Amino acid sequence: MIQATELTKRYGTRLAVDHADFTVAPGKVTGFLGPNGAGKSTTMRMILGLDRPTSGSVTINGVPYHRLAAPLREVGALLDAKAVHGGRSAYNHLLVLAKANGLPRSRVDAVIDLVGLHSVAGKRSGGFSLGMGQRLGIAAALLGDPGIVMFDEPVNGLDPEGILWIRNLMKALAAEGRTVFVSSHLMSEMALTADHLVVIGLGRILADEPMAEFIAKNSVSYVRVRSPQPAELAPKLALRGWRVERQPDESLHVYDTQPAQIGDVAGAEGLWLHELTLVQSSLEEAFMRLTAGSVEYHAGQSDDQGSPDGPAVAGWGTPLESQAPQAPQVEERIQ
């Protein structure tokens, strides 16, 4: 269990984390989401005692990280895949960590098998690909058989099988009753992995709730109805006071109701149904809706860019700006 209470971190005049309160409970995968610069990394670093909070506290099973007697046995973290001495073999890297924490050599073999680095355990990690480095980082995180694991962007550099593997690994770790805290920028990946979400924006906690609740709260849902008799069905549904939109493909989008109620109407009228589906926003859409107000930079209005530029260079038009969306501006802050 990880618990943050009024957690605050200030860099100069900038509040990186602003009185954050949240709890990461065991037995489920908790996703940690937020735009770049929202304070995710800072929060993770404070959990691990790498940075000191300006005020407030964050505890691991009730104790700050630096007071833990055997930290690797309580918390395993994958922060930066490249925090490994490139000249050392994967095996020796893990062995050094194990020795430093009084863990038996057998754990090293166990985690190397678990992450599938067996065949390259003796090779220097300098030549590892990003995906292999990621697996080594995960092996290090699991070395102490910890009750709490934290992963920062774990699927970075992994191939599809690797991504599936780590998703299942995280779910399995949670099912064993461990606390799994994972940050990611990949909403589609998070949607499949996390049970619970903590969302941070501009250093403040914007949401701390189960995934389903988060999506339901931050989305517009409707029921997609397909029927061979849309012309008869649509007025019957509209009569109930529901908003019905007829789509070009003859399907109906029905708002303000649930599929079961529509099914009852169709059944009572003896009308045929070909589809009856509740359509909800994706996690990505819900996330964008929630964080729209809290992003430090905003996507530029592409319309502003569309003005035809002068004839400085003949033919050097602006097709990209006029039709393509523009990226959100990066903050002027470099580590």
Partner 1 sequence: MAARDSVMTPIATRDAGTGHAHFGRLLLAEWTKIRSVRSTYWSLIALIIAFLFFSWLFPYLTVVNWKQASPEQQANLYLDPIGSITGSGLFIGQLAVAVLGVMVTASEYSTGMIRSTLLASPHRVRMLAAKSIVFTLLILVIGEVIAFLGFFIGRQTFKSLVSVDLNSGNVREVFGVGLYLAMLGLFALVVGALLRHVAGAITGIVALLLVISNLIQLIPGRIGKYLYTYEPTNAGFVITAKRLPDNFLISSWQGYGVFALWTAVLWALAAYLLVRRDA
Partner 2 sequence: MIEVRDLVKRYGDTTAVDHLSFAVEPGRITGFLGPNGAGKSTTMRLILGLDRPSSGSALIDGLPYRDLRDPLRYVGALLEARAVHGGRSAFNHLLYLAQTQGVPKRRVSEVLELVGLSGVAKKRTKGFSLGMGQRLGIAAALLGDPKILILDEPVNGLDPEGVLWVRQLLKALAGEGRTIFVSSHLMNEMAVTADHLIVIGRGKLQADMPVGQFIAQFSDTAVLVRTPEAEALRAAAGERGWTVADTDLDGALIVTGSTAPEIGELAAARGLVLHELTPQRASLEEAYMELTRETGEFAHRPAPAWGGADGRA
- Site residues for partner 1, 311-330, by CB under 8 A, read 314-317, 319
Q: Closest CB to partner 2 among 55 and 323?
A: 323
CB of 294 to partner 2, least distance (A): 11
Task: Choose between 192 and 320: whose C-beta lies nearer to partner 1.
Answer: 320
251-286 b/e (C-beta count within 10 Å ≥ 16 → b): bbebeebebeebeebbeeeebebeebeeeebebeeb
C-alpha to C-alpha distance for 240 and 242, rounded to whole angstroms: 6
Binding partner at 315 among partner 1, partner 2, none, C-beta below 5 to 8 Å by kind: partner 1
| Span from 47-55, 100-108, 170-178, 320-328 in contact with partner 2 (CB under 8 A) | 320-328
> Of 21, 176, 284, 303, which one interacts with partner 2 (CB under 8 A)?
284
Contact flag: residue 310 with partner 1 (CB under 8 A): no
Q: Choose one: 3-11, 31-39, 62-70, 208-216; the region binding partner 2 (CB under 8 A).
A: 31-39
Q: By C-beta, is 62 or 319 nearer to partner 2?
A: 319
Residue ranges in the chain assigned as alpha helix (H):
40-47, 71-74, 90-100, 105-115, 130-142, 160-175, 187-193, 211-217, 230-239, 259-269, 283-291, 319-323
33 binds partner 2 (CB under 8 A): yes
Out of 50, 110, 216, 295, the only residue in the binding site for partner 2 (CB under 8 A) is: 295
Structure tokens belonging to residue 159: 């191939």
Binding span for partner 2 by CB under 8 A among 4-12, 21-29, 236-244, 270-278: 270-278
Handedness of CA 291, 297, 298, 299 (dihedral sign): negative
Q: Does 330 bind partner 2 (CB under 8 A)?
A: yes
Nearest to partner 2 of 12, 316 (CB atom)? 316
Alpha carbon distance 73, 86 (integer Å): 25
**Which position among 10, 101, 263, 289 is part of the footprint of partner 2 (CB under 8 A)?**
263
Measured CA to CA, the distance from residue 321 to residue 319 in angstroms comes to 6
**Residues within window 1-60 making contact with partner 1, judged by CB under 8 A:** none
Site track for partner 2 across 123-162, x = CB under 8 A: ---xx-x-xx--x-------------------xxxxxxxx
Tallying the residues shown for the chain, one arrives at: 335
Helix (H/G/I), strand (E/B), else coil: 244: strand
Assess contact for 111 and 94: CB atoms under 8 A. yes
Q: Are the C-beta atoms of residues 210 and 31 closer than 8 Å to each other?
A: no
For the beta carbon of residue 14, count every other beta carbon within 10 angstroms. Answer: 10
Window 243-262: contact mask with partner 2 (x via CB under 8 A): ----------------xx--
55 binding partner 2? (CB under 8 A): no
CB of residue 192 to partner 2, shortest distance in Å: 7
User: Contacts with partner 2: how many residues (CB under 8 A)?
Assistant: 80
Q: Does 86 bind partner 1 (CB under 8 A)?
A: no
Chosen residue from 274, 293, 303, 307 binding partner 2 by CB under 8 A: 274
CA pseudo-torsion sign 71, 74, 80, 84:
positive
User: What is d(CA 30, CA 53) in angstroms, rounded to the nearest whole number?
Assistant: 22
CA atoms within 13 A on the CB side of 137: 27
Question: Contact residues for partner 1 (CB under 8 A)?
Answer: 314-317, 319
